Amino acid sequence: MTRIAANTPCRVRLILNGKERVGQAESRMLLSDFIRHELGATGTHLGCEHGVCGACTVRVDGVASRACLMLAVQAEGRRIDTVEGLCDGDALGDLQAAFKRHHALQCGFCTAGILNSCAEFLDKTPEPSELDVRDMLSGHLCRCTGYTGIVAAVLEVAAQRRGAPPETSHV
Amino acid sequence: MKPAAFDYARPESRGEVLKLLADTGSDARVLAGGQSLMAVLNMRLAEPALVIDIGGVADLGYIEIRDDRLCIGANTRQAELLAWPELAEHAPLLARVMPWVGHFQTRNRGTVCGSITHADPSAELPLSLAVLGGEVVLERRHWRRGRRVVPAAEFFQGLLTTAREPDELLTEVRFPLARADHDYRFTEVAMRHGDFALVALAAVIGPDEIVLGAGGVADRPVVRRIPRDRDFDTELNIFAWSLGAESDAHASAAYRRQLVRELGHKLLTQATP
Amino acid sequence: MQAQSTVEALGRFAECGYARERVEDNALLRGAGRFGDDLATTAGTLQAAVLRSPHAHARLRKLDITSALAIDGVHAVLTGEDVREWAAPFAVGVRQPMQHWCLAVDKVRYVGEPVAVVVARDRYVAEDALDAVEADYELLDPVVDPEVAAQADAPVLHEGVGANVVNDRHFSYGSPDKAFAEAAHRIALKVRYPRSSCTPIECYVVIADYDVAAGTYDVTANFQGPFALHSVMARALKVGASGLRLRTPPDSGGSFGIKQGVFAYVVLMALAARKAGAPVKWVEDRLEHLQASSSATNRVTEIEAAVSAEGRISALRYDQLDDCGAYLRAPEPATFYRMHGTLTGAYDIQHLEARNRVVLTNKTPTGLNRGFGGPQVYYALERLMQRIAVALDLDPLEVIRRNLVPADAFPYRAPAGSLLDSGNYQSAIEKGAAEGGLDELKQRRDAARREGRLYGIGYCAVVEPSISNMGYITTAMTPAEREKAGPKNGAVATATVGVDPLGGVTVHVSSTPQGQGHRTVAAQVVADVLGLEFETITVNVELDTQKDPWSNASGNYSSRFAGAVAGTVHEAASRIRKRVAAIAAHQFEVDASCIRFGDGRVTVADDDRLSTSFRRMAGTAHWAPALLPEGEPGGLRETAFWSPPQLAAPDVNDHINSSLCYGFVFDYCGVEIDKVTGRVRLDRYVTLHDAGRILNPAVLDGQVRGGFAQGLGAALMEKFEYGADGSFQAGTLADYLIPTTMEVPEPVILHMETPSPFTPLGAKGAGEGNNMSTPVCIANAVADALGESDIELPLTPSRVRAMIGIDEPDAPEGLEPIKPAAGSGSALQASDSVDMPGDPATVFDAMLDPKILAKIIPGCHDLQAVGDNAYKADVTVGVGMIRARYKADVNLSELEPPHALKLSGVGRSAMGTAEGSARVRLTAIEGNRTRLDYDYEAAIGGKFAAVGARMLQGAARVIIGQIFSRLAVELGGGSNAGSWMKRIVDLFRRLFGRSKK
């Protein structure tokens, strides 16, 4: 049994975007703070710290999860994927490129979490309806875009991955 | 918005969990999916001495059929239940209800048992358990009386309050399997998609009797049995008033009562599409 | 019309006007944005947390920080005493004796008001220390409702003022009395606009440092401007403007006006850094943000129109009461005056009267919020237009049409002073109606109504101001006061374009964006002027008050980017172009008028052989100054400042051109209402915008969609809920509801382009229109569907259903409805009863026995007598997983042995305050038993009220119920939990004859 006393930093090791990373965390440190401030991956953002806004969503062993509702110590040994890992080499991945094409972000603060949900969702749901996409996205709050571009981008990537050509113009 | 300090334990067996609970009792909190507890800790609405993470207990994650019951272990995520291929066949009510439980992202980590233990009066899973007449298994460290099975009607005792004692772990929840001659219906009104219900109604329509349950109105899910030969509107009116609805920022008491009557009428008289 | 000729001279744009992908997105989509909390900090930077008042109105008697300082990792605690020594109160926009410090020094006036700042090793430890600070308050009566606060006998927030109405101005333009006297109809309406906020997803971030040697402050904050507030901050810190170096991070996670309010925390954290002797970072959390950052004003408006038989309006009369919260924080009362010149909206109305009263209440101070002032004004005006149509039995769109400013009247001077720059409202409405499918929508409505469904259509026409006159706020002062203070006006924009030695072009603007794509659009503008690919232009939008050009009007507000900033970028780029053209003309030995820019080259017209790359030509200015023409100094960097002459100060008759540009928005929508649930479903929403020349259509549509979603939220679900005791009850995003993908449909967006004659590119702002138009458009549709006149936002399902009507059948006998809690406050009241073993005397004596009292109070660790039937107790109470430890005073009073007594308690914890009292009556019943009836009242304030509003009633019942059920157990009665539930069960048994009695 793992047991960590309060106020006692311990070592946490996890796989962040394919690379093993180690940092120090007290038992109470949130995974979101650990990723951002201990590991320096600041692409994951905090919007509410009570699990509603979705900005901090990362993938834990491939599954979209609120990083603010997990302790860093719970991530020990797990695979954590964040927005920083979504690129295709140096280039934007297809989902990111579609977001850009569709003006699916403005301030970009909520975007990292949305991309992580979409990444898992599209893996599991290759042929989503617009309602499926909206239902999945309803776990995220975006204050800038009115969501139109986001929905369009996700549907387009789903179609692309099934072999349809990308659109060229914006929404 | 950061938690107060606590000791953290990640036991690997049920026995270890029960020992920790026996030693720490009400100063401990059990962490499974964390979708309610972590928000409470972040807001410092609780400052437990010990957080017991049961995620490492391997034999607590399962979906099984045993003795005409759908049995779900304490580590089973809501998303796993929703994705279970036999859900619609064995538990059509849950198949209808699960998409209403939180969001894709919270179902990914939130557990079925966790929602039931939390006993939010507006949550869909406690309502489902109550209306189906299911039960929960509570275990504690004791040489003789280490395990008890509590029916939903006794388990839910009030706002966030259950029959679980501080040294007990809710290890399993059991939903009765669907019966062929019964119909299972659900409806809900919330402020937004995925929000806690303003009013949620679930019904089991049997050949002779209807079991109707309401969530979001009283301080716990409340169930009423209605013989099919009764006048539904009279029954629904009694039910609506009996729930002791209250007004809050999002809806009035009268609204909640009226929805129990009118949505209830629809639910009882129209087959689910 | 000089500006338009500039545009024409440029000919066809290669970049401007096209939906280019945004340059910002490359970093943001990779997680490589640099938001406030992402920036590298100086070694040794500490973290701050703010102790906030749990009370709406109280005198701060004592603050004990000893225990907090003793916690390992805590470096300092800033209190009101430090603030009094080092700082000054914030300057206020009206002449009144009231003080607003960045930290409470003697009184608290709203829930969430900062009381102390803890500086510690990390945020976790800082929050530990917050729980250890002991604050002692003397409670004062709060006032929450603005109309109550405006009354003479209301509790007063600022004793020095002596009343809560801190500014009261009357305005009269034309001859309104005469117009009203002569009118065929006078049609009036009273509306209440609720308090809400556009709540950016990123909260406030401040990183502050103090240079003890120089006595200056260096602060980075995600402040959005206006930088007029820099002066307010510097004065509060008692330094000159150069003594406060204020910087903004490269990225900011939304603002919508709200990040104007961070300025108070810039001052607070600067002082915290001074106290700690180290750099300090503060990252506001969501609870802090919702309860205490900023919001729009809530407003009560009585509006009346003088109307002819044909529906032509000759005069308008407004009586507006704006609730600015507990302090008049700069730039308030600007919410009124941003809209002042254009109170007549899109209509040609000659006579106008307005009374504007600013009232303070025990709520969070207000400030900028997208649409600033527009939603409140148009909610009154456009609801009134709909009422006029109903009253005169006219089509609502026809009433709008008959009153519009004529197309040939521009620039049109509105009676209160706005100079509507350009437009053709009639064409816009025709286009909107035709292209948005209004006829079909009417058919849908008619078909729905024939089927008995509830369907309505709403309209609104809105003039959208942009580029605020920095002097409009002085309209709050009387002409005599203004005379003394000196004139304020204008709106200075700045932009810098530089070319480096390798020919790269860098642009700097002081527009501090939060996602509006300023970098993209500035690059498009410069690319067109210099004939370069827009991807090659680097745009920097960080602002450093020590190094960058800026002015008091800098910042991102009043939709000033497209009209003012982009135009100023154009001006700076044009100067570079002129200089490079002169250099090229000198080298090619031609006249400068022959030089053309395009495809990255500088070319002589009609002679392709004379062509050099832009890079090389511009590089000459750095590498070979000797080759430059006479008068060209070398180096290549131009900063342009621009302020439009149309923005004059208010005149002696209070005429004010409050903004430079006035776009036009015409919206209509069809809604269907579910008769059972009361849910409003938008069937179609059409929004037409004329924002002058469009610089990037995709960016513009993004603004429209975002504003629409926020307007929809304000219409249907968003509200900052306060209890009657001033407790804040929307402290989480599960309480303050923001629309999600499932609630926001796609609007039909249409555009028209009538260029502004007053901006360099002909563009106007367009960022706020739908925040102004959408709430009232939806309200008008709901009014149409239900035939109702009194429409209050947000139109929640419950509220709409109440308007449809709830015809409740009576409660069955024996099932009385639970009495509703008084008001909408967190004062909770209910009654219950428990059966006890023993006679009333036994029960009565037991309650007076401290040993038994200690056992029946749930979670009581310790109970010490401090007087007759008075105790101090240490208790842990809660429901479910929620628990808090309270220090409580417990009293037994009004003793009438053995029949009655009153049990009361007041508790304080880090979770806030709890007060409760129960009047207990004891009645002997058969079998030597006693029935204990109790009526209780409870009030819960602070954090639990903010985040647990949904649970308050239930929690109070659980905890108070526990006391008496435990008493029953103590007296040997066994478990008696859930008596309330038991009554229901008993009732069922009675009703269905299952009882064995």
Nearest CA in chain C to B37: C881
> Does residue A19 sit in the same domain as residue A75?
yes
Task: List alpha helices for C791-898, DSSP H.
Answer: 797-804, 840-848, 850-856
Distance from CA of B66 to the nearest CA of C (A): 30
How far is it, in rounded angstroms, from Cα C638 to Cα C496?
5
What distance in Å separates residue A58's CA from the closest CA in chain C? 12
Confidence of residue C984 (pLDDT cuts 50, 70, 90): low
Which residues in chain A (59-78) have CB-CB distances under 8 A to chain C? none
Residue A108 lies in a domain: yes
For residue B232, give how far its alpha carbon lies from the nearest alpha carbon of chain C (Å): 13
Minimum distance, in Å, between the CA of residue B252 and any CA atom of chain C: 6
Provide the number of CB pairs (under 8 Å) joining chain A to chain C. 177
C196: DSSP letter: -
B41 neighbourhood in chain A, CB within 8 Å:
28
Indicate whether A62 belongs to any domain: yes
For residue C730, the one-letter residue type is: A
Return the CA Rg of chain A.
17
Q: Which of A29, A111, A135 sits opposite C742 (nearest CB)?
A: A135
Same domain, A73 and A120: no
At residue C308, the pLDDT reads 98
8 Å CB contact of A52 and C19: no
Between strands C46-52 and C280-283, the pairing is parallel
Give residue C820's pLDDT. 46
Q: How many CB pairs under 8 A join B and C?
A: 177
- The ipTM is 0.97
Domain limits for position A113: 94-161
Measure CB to CB from residue B238 to each of C734, C796, C812 and give the nearest one: C812
Using a CB–CB cutoff of 8 Å, tell me whether A57 touches chain B.
Answer: yes
A64 at the B interface (CB within 8 A)? yes
One of 3.30.450.20, 3.30.465.10, 3.40.50.150, 3.30.1130.10 is the CATH number of B58-176, namely 3.30.465.10
Closest chain C residue to the Cα of A44, Cα to Cα? C31
What is the SS3 string spanning C228-265? HHHHHHHHHCCCCHHHEEEECCCCCCCCCCHHHHHHHH
Q: What is the CATH T-level fold of the domain B184-269, as seen in this structure?
A: Enolase-like; domain 1 (3.30.390)
Instruction: Quote the pLDDT of residue C978.
Output: 45
Q: Are strands B63-66 and B28-31 parallel, antiparallel or unpaired?
A: unpaired
Q: How far is C947 from chain B (nearest CA, A)?
A: 8
Q: Please, which residues have CB within 8 angstroms of residue C528's CB and are 6 or more apart in sequence?
A: C10, C13, C14, C15, C16
Domains C2-29+492-642 and C827-992 share a fold: no
Same domain, A39 and A60: yes
Cross-chain residue pair C809–B261, CB shorter than 8 Å: yes
For residue A128, is it within any domain? yes
Look at C702 and A143 and tell me if their CB atoms are within 8 Å.
no
- CATH of residue A107: 1.10.150.120
> How far are the Cα atoms of B230, C27, C217, C775 from residue C250, in angstroms, in the given order?
68, 11, 20, 33
When pLDDT is cut at 50, 70 and 90, the band that residue C941 belongs to is confident
**In whole angstroms, what is the distance from residue C103 CA to residue B226 CA?**
60
- Least confident range from C61-65, C606-610, C739-743, C780-784: namely C606-610
- Residue C943 — pLDDT band, cuts 50, 70, 90? confident
Say if A4 falls within a structural domain.
no
Interchain pair C824, B249: CB under 8 A: yes
Residue where one domain finishes, among candidates A21, A55, A84: A84
pLDDT digits (tens, 9 = 90+) for C35-65: 999 999 999 999 999 999 999 999 999 999 9
Cβ neighbour number for residue C558 with a 10 Å cutoff: 31
Task: Collect all residues of chain B within an 8 Å Cβ-Cβ radius of residue A65.
Answer: 105, 108-109
- For residue B57, the chain A residue with the least C-alpha distance is A1
Is the pLDDT at C7 greater than 50? The verdict is no
Distance, CA of C704 to CA of C687 (rounded, Å): 8
Res. C12 pLDDT band, cuts 50 70 90: low
For residue C880, give the nearest of B1, B3, B119 by CB distance.
Answer: B119
Question: Mean pLDDT, to the nearest integer, of C280-306?
Answer: 98
Residue in A closest to B55 by C-alpha: A74
Closest Cα in chain C to A135:
C742
- pLDDT reported for residue A165: 65
- Residue C710 and residue A148: Cβ atoms within 8 Å? no
Cβ of C37 and A42 within 8 Å? yes
CA distance C955 to C318: 44
Surface of A (16-45) touching C: CB under 8 A: 26, 28-29, 36, 41-45
**Whether residues A44 and A66 fall in one domain:** yes
Together in a domain, A16 and A76 = yes
| Residue pair C307/C187 in contact by the 8 Å Cβ criterion | yes
Show the tokens assigned to C771.
């925040």
Q: Half-sphere exposure (CA, 13 Å, Cβ side) for C161? A: 26
Q: Do B158 and C809 touch (CB under 8 A)?
A: no
Whether A123 maps to a domain, the answer reads: yes
Cα separation, A68 vs B2, whole angstroms: 10
- Radius of gyration (C-alpha) of chain B in whole angstroms: 19
Tell me whether residues C717 and B261 touch, CB distance under 8 A: no
Region C488-494: mean pLDDT is: 95
pLDDT tens digits, one per residue of C840-850: 999 999 999 99
Q: Say if residue C9's pLDDT is above 70.
A: no
Local structure of residue C563 (DSSP, 8 states) = I
Q: Which CATH number fits domain C2-29+492-642: 3.30.365.10, 1.10.10.10, 3.30.70.3270, 2.40.30.20?
A: 3.30.365.10
Give per-10-residue mean pLDDT for chain A (171 aa).
96 98 98 98 98 98 98 98 94 97 98 98 97 98 98 98 67 42
CB contact under 8 Å between B44 and C911, yes or no, is yes
Sign of the dihedral defined by the CA atoms of residues B265, B268, B271, B273, in that order: positive
Contact assignment for C127 to B255 by CB distance below 8 Å: no
For domain C827-992, the CATH architecture is 2-Layer Sandwich (3.30)
Rounded-to-integer distance, Cα B20 and Cα B168, Å: 10
- pLDDT the model gives residue A98: 98
Which of chain B's residues have a Cβ under 8 Å away from the Cβ of A54? 103, 105
Predicted confidence pLDDT, tens digits, chain B (273 residues): 999 999 999 999 999 999 999 999 889 999 999 999 999 999 999 999 999 999 999 999 999 999 999 999 999 999 999 999 999 999 999 999 999 999 999 999 999 999 999 999 999 999 999 999 999 999 999 988 899 999 999 999 989 999 999 999 999 999 999 999 999 999 999 999 888 899 999 999 999 999 999 999 999 999 999 999 999 999 999 999 999 998 888 999 999 999 999 999 999 998 654
CATH number of the domain to which A44 belongs = 3.10.20.30
Instruction: Say how many residues make up chain A.
Output: 171
Asked if A75 and A102 sit in the same domain, the reply is no
Domains: count for chain A: 2
Q: Do B9 and A54 touch (CB under 8 A)?
A: no
- What mean pLDDT is reported for chain C? 93
Last-in-domain residue among A24, A49, A84: A84
C950 contacts in chain B (CB < 8 Å)? 122, 196, 248-250
* Chain B contact residues (CB < 8 Å to A): 1-12, 16, 31, 34-35, 38-39, 41-43, 49, 51, 53, 55-56, 79, 99, 102-106, 108-109, 192-194
Residue at which a domain ends, from A36, A66, A84: A84
d(CA A2, CA C522): 55
Task: Identify the CA nearest to C347 among candidates C300, C307, C309.
Answer: C307
Are C131 and B257 in contact (CB < 8 Å)?
no
| Annotated domain spans of chain C | 2-29+492-642, 827-992
> Residue C942 above 60 pLDDT?
yes
pLDDT (average), residues C361-365: 98
Write out the CATH class of domain B7-56: alpha beta
**Residue C959 CA from chain centroid, whole number:** 36
Cβ within 8 Å, pair A1-B11: yes
**A74 and A129 co-located in one domain:** no
Asked if C678 and C804 touch (Cβ cutoff 8 Å), the reply is yes
- Give the closest-approach CA distance of A163 to chain B in angstroms: 26
Q: Which residues lie across from C920 on neighbouring strands?
A: C901, C934
Interchain contact, B247 vs C820, CB within 8 Å:
yes
Based on its alpha-carbon atoms, the radius of gyration of chain C, rounded to whole angstroms, reads 32
Q: Where are the domains of chain B?
A: 7-56, 58-176, 184-269
Q: What is the pLDDT, as a whole number, of residue C816?
A: 62
- What is the pLDDT at residue C376? 98
* pLDDT computed for residue C4 by the predictor: 39
- The answer to whether the CB atoms of B8 and A117 lie below 8 A apart is no
Q: Identify the residue with better confidence: B5 or C8.
A: B5
> Do A42 and A72 belong together in one domain?
yes
pLDDT bucket at C983, cuts 50 / 70 / 90 = low
